[in-house]
Amino acid sequence: MEGYIILKNSKLKTFLNPLLSIILWIVSAFLINFIIESIARGGISNCYNFLTEKPIVFFYNSFFILLTLSITFLFKRRIFVGLFISLIWIILGISNGVILKFRGSPLTGTDFSLIKSGLSIIDNYFSTNQIIILILSIILLIGLLVLIFIYAPKSKIHNKVQYILDIVLVLSMLFAFTPFRNYMNASGNVSTVFWNINDAYTDYGFPYCLYLTTFTNGIEKPDNYGQATIDYIVADVDSSIETNTLLASSEHESLLVNNPNVLVVQLESFFDLTLVENLTFSQDPIPNFRHLMENYSSGFLGVSCIGGGTANTEFEVLTGMNIDFFSPSEFPYNTILHSKTAESIAYTLKEKDYSTAVFHNYSGLFYNRNVVFSHLGFDSFTPLEFMNNVETTPIGWPKDKILTNQITELMQSTDTRDFIFTVSVQGHGGYPTSNIIENPDIIIEGLSTEEQTAQYEYYAQQLFEMDQFVADLINAVNQLDEPTIIAFYGDHLPSLGLSNESVLNKNIFQTNYVIWDNLGLEKVDKDIETYQLSAVLLDKVNLNTGLIGRFHIIKEDEDSYLDELKLLQYDMLYGNQYQYLDASPYPVTNLQMGYKDITISDAYIEDNYLYVKGENFTPCGYIYINGSKIETEYIDENTLRSTNTNCKESDEITICFELGNTPVTKPDTPYIYK
């Protein structure tokens, strides 16, 4: 008893309190990590297996959580700060579980930059009741945190000595982390290279992977990077292309004397559903696409994502670059392409006097496409905001058939050959677990639950309609009587819980592609990677003039292929651009939003309405008077009106389309009210 009193009244207690706190936070970090991994892995038993099979990896992930908890030592309100940080981790873990369920891939750092875009489509994934419950839960959590902040006790041991000790403890953990991290990387327990994002999260744990995908981006500088290395690669490609037998024969040269239109169509979540084992179908979900695969060049397309990540498939096709060389889960659309241009199929064809355009039947703001496409060589970008009469699926995604007339109208409106890149959206998840389609065209048997059957049949219906869009587009293009080649492909598999074991090709990172043409080209079937598609496509018609495109054709079978491709990508985007003789030959384009000119022909007041008349209006256009937005009602593509009649002579009237923080004003010259 006497010893206890001495201890209680001595300075030794000052030093023991932080030690007890550290033990408490270590236990808390361990428990939080266990909860997070249990959610991610679908149960406590799976998390326990991870803990026992890879204890050092589990502890390493707990260390990440512990580092964040350690800052509580610097606050008097330790309980509040500790609970707040713990709650953030739990919310991240729950979010990861939800995203895994709906998208099939985990939460990454890149997702934080897409929060605003994600909120705009939340009603496609959750019912109204679920959204209300989510909002109420957030309000409840905020209220609980406020109560904890008010009533939780403060630390009473915060004299000068205690603060110094606390700071020393926090810094000690930070310093201890560096050698621990180096050991984990050097020993191979974790890796900074994610060839498969889902497998990486499974092998290395959620906190570590979230950290890596949040705080790293770009391409790591290759050890042998330098001007001599780049000059060697460029010279090798240039010398090889002169004698390479892959150059078009004289027969093809005469056939392609006028160059064909080049179309690339990326189909959302499209793949051959009959590849799923043990399923039977009332009819083929993709009869038109299958006919194309049987008669034109086709094969499997190796993609980098599943269930989501559309923009990275898009990036690989347009640039010929391998996304695997970038940091884990990085979207170049959200990082480097905001400040740099890059060689692309669009820039390559612009050198041949092609017009270049993009169509996407969803918001132009998604993945920053309204900015990025000007860095990839496009003249115009037509997103959903500039489309009329759009029909939607039962869960609200625009159907792809709207794109057929858009594409052919643009082709007819230009005097040059066209390169048109199209990104569809109809096949997007999440897929409802109840039957919401009356009399579906595809009935599926072989699934274990009614919920699964509903999901698959909904997806199959969208697949069937997308397949019809493919056929309709080919028929419409054929009627133009212009030489044309079109690549169709799926960007990734749908988020239907598929695994390598559940598909006949044993690879859930393969979709299907086909290259149709009306040129009489030879059918050549081949499985390729996404970053090779544009090179294969352009090589068929002797238009493969870009360095990276030519590199793929010449170097594909060489052992140094991927190493040299990484060097070219690094040099172009992050290095000194040695591959160019002078500056980059790819200037930022003046991207026109919407391929149609939007005009105002008249404005007048009638029956207490301000009417604005013109051409090519859409429901996403708003009337602006002298730069100020007014309430607007869409009547038809020639008429907008407003109850705001405060318009006087010489006022300037424009129509503005709002893409996030980027208002797009049409026409360029305001209409002067008379």
* Residue 154 confidence (pLDDT): 60
CA distance 581 to 361: 39
* Residue 543 confidence (pLDDT): 92
Helix, strand, coil percent values for the chain (each to nearest 5)? 50, 15, 35
Helices (H), 104-224: 115-120, 128-151, 160-187, 197-204, 206-215
Confidence band (pLDDT; 50, 70, 90) for 214?
confident
CA distance 306 to 317: 16
- Mean pLDDT to the nearest integer, 202-219: 88
459 vs 1, which has greater pLDDT?
Answer: 459
pLDDT at 367 over 60: yes
Output the pTM of the full model: 0.80
pLDDT digits (tens, 9 = 90+) for 148-200: 666 666 655 544 446 676 677 777 777 777 888 888 888 888 887 675 677 78
pLDDT at 138 over 90: no
Beginning with the edge strand found earlier in the chain, give each strand of the sheet holding 662-672 in spatial order.
628-629, 621-625, 652-659, 662-672
* Residue 474 confidence (pLDDT): 98
Span of 272-281, 394-403, 577-586 with lowest mean pLDDT: 577-586
Say which residues have a Cβ less than 8 Å from residue 503's Cβ, sequence separation at least 6.
275, 276, 277
pLDDT digits (tens, 9 = 90+) for 387-423: 999 999 999 999 999 999 999 999 999 999 999 999 9
pLDDT at 208 over 80: yes
* Residue 7 confidence (pLDDT): 41
pLDDT digits (tens, 9 = 90+) for 610-624: 999 999 999 999 999
- Look at residues 599, 39, 514, 58 and name the one whose alpha carbon lies nearest to residue 291: 514
Helices H / strands E in the chain, number of each: 21, 19
Confidence band (pLDDT; 50, 70, 90) for 247?
very low
pLDDT at 1 over 50: no
Of the CA atoms within 13 Å of residue 149, those in its CB half-sphere come to 8
Give the number of other CB atoms < 10 A from CB of residue 660.
15
Q: Could you give the 3-state DSSP secondary structure of residue 158?
A: coil
Span of 24-38, 67-81, 114-128, 475-489 with lowest mean pLDDT: 114-128
Are the beta carbons of 421 and 357 closer than 8 angstroms?
Answer: yes
Q: Which two tokens stand for residue 668?
A: 């360029």
Cα dist from 633 to 256, 422, 630, 640, 671, whole Å? 49, 29, 10, 6, 18
pLDDT at 316 over 80: yes
- Mean pLDDT to the nearest integer, 492-508: 93
* Residue 475 confidence (pLDDT): 98
- 269: phi > 0 → left, psi -120 to 50 → alpha, else beta; which? left
Cα dist from 591 to 355, 575, 665, whole Å? 12, 26, 13
Say which residues have a Cβ less than 8 Å from residue 491's Cβ, sequence separation at least 6.
266, 267, 268, 269, 270, 303, 305, 309, 310, 313, 314, 511
Q: Which two tokens stand for residue 641?
A: 């009106």
CA distance 497 to 493: 10
Give the number of other CB atoms < 10 A from CB of residue 619.
18
Span of 19-23, 112-116, 319-323, 502-506 with lowest mean pLDDT: 112-116
Q: Could you give the 3-state DSSP secondary structure of residue 506?
A: coil
Chain mean pLDDT for the chain: 86
335 vs 257, which has greater pLDDT?
Answer: 335
Are the beta carbons of 262 and 541 closer than 8 angstroms?
Answer: yes
20 vs 516, which has greater pLDDT?
Answer: 516
Give the number of other CB atoms < 10 A from CB of residue 400.
29
Confidence band (pLDDT; 50, 70, 90) for 5?
very low
pLDDT digits (tens, 9 = 90+) for 226-236: 999 999 999 99
* Residue 106 confidence (pLDDT): 84
Confidence band (pLDDT; 50, 70, 90) for 669?
confident
CA distance 458 to 456: 5
CA distance 60 to 47: 15
Confidence band (pLDDT; 50, 70, 90) for 478?
very high
CA distance 488 to 195: 25
Are the beta carbons of 529 and 300 closer than 8 angstroms?
Answer: no
CA distance 226 to 224: 6
* Residue 238 confidence (pLDDT): 85
354 vs 105, which has greater pLDDT?
Answer: 354
Helices (H), 205-262: 206-215, 227-243, 250-255
pLDDT digits (tens, 9 = 90+) for 49-59: 999 999 999 99
List 420's β-bridge partners, or say none. 263, 357
pLDDT at 594 over 60: yes
- Mean pLDDT to the nearest integer, 272-286: 96
* Residue 251 confidence (pLDDT): 44
- Pairing of β 621-625 and β 609-615: unpaired
* Residue 165 confidence (pLDDT): 66
Q: 3-state SS of 289-342?
A: HHHHHHHCEEEEEECCCCCCCHHHHHHHHHHCCCHHHECCCCCHHHCHHHCCCC
Q: Please give the distance of CA 462 from its chain centroid, rounded to a whole number.
A: 21
- Look at residues 646, 631, 635, 637 and name the one whose alpha carbon lies nearest to residue 617: 637
- Look at residues 78, 75, 74 and name the one whose alpha carbon lies nearest to residue 153: 78
- Mean pLDDT to the nearest integer, 204-223: 89
Query: What is the gyration radius of the CA atoms in the chain, in angstroms?
Result: 29
Q: Is the dihedral of CA 453, 455, 456, 460 positive or negative?
A: positive
The amino acid sitting at 483 is P
Q: Which two tokens stand for residue 389?
A: 């009469």
The proportion of the chain whose per-residue pLDDT surpasses 70, expressed as a percent, equals: 86
Residue positions counted in the chain: 674
Confidence band (pLDDT; 50, 70, 90) for 634?
very high
Query: Concatenated DSSP letters for 567-623?
Result: HHHHHHHTS--TTSSSS-S-PPP-PEESSSPPEEEEEEEETTEEEEEEES--TTEEE
* Residue 563 confidence (pLDDT): 96
Give the number of other CB atoms < 10 A from CB of residue 244.
12
CA distance 376 to 571: 17
CA distance 203 to 200: 5
* Residue 458 confidence (pLDDT): 96
pLDDT digits (tens, 9 = 90+) for 541-578: 999 889 999 999 999 999 999 999 999 999 999 999 99
Query: Concatenated DSSP letters for 352-380?
Result: TT-EEEEEESS-TTGGGHHHHGGGTT-SE
